[in-house]
Amino acid sequence: MLVEFMTKDASATMATMVDEPYVNHIPTLTGGIGKRDLHRFYQDFFIPNNPPSMKVKLVSRTIGTDRVVDEMIISFRHTQQVPW
């Protein structure tokens, strides 16, 4: 479930994560390590800067013993700067 795109709530997003979370957005080299950094990333950068037309389509999900990797297609009309 991609809470950050549905609820647009950083705290709700963080509630879905493990005790020591990290997010590494490979194409843009953004994200964070740990709850504090990730909450700041979602609240101050990622969620408020998503264009209103943004749509997410999950292509695949790979689940390992210590990680989950989602492959997705994200589309939007480029109506604003997206700093992440």
Question: Quick one: pLDDT at residue 24?
Answer: 87
Strand partners, 24: 31
DSSP code, position 47: T
Structural domain boundaries in the chain: 3-75
How many CB atoms neighbour CB 19 within 10 A?
6
Whether the predicted pLDDT of 76 surpasses 70: yes
Look at the alpha carbons of 51, 25, 13, 44 in this order and tell me if their dihedral is positive or negative: negative
Question: Quick one: pLDDT at residue 11?
Answer: 93
Q: For 7-55, what is each residue's pLDDT tens digit?
A: 889 999 999 888 999 988 887 888 999 999 999 999 998 888 889 899 9
Question: Quick one: pLDDT at residue 84?
Answer: 73
Whether the predicted pLDDT of 1 surpasses 80: no
Whole-model pTM?
A: 0.72
Which tokens is 51 given? 């264009």
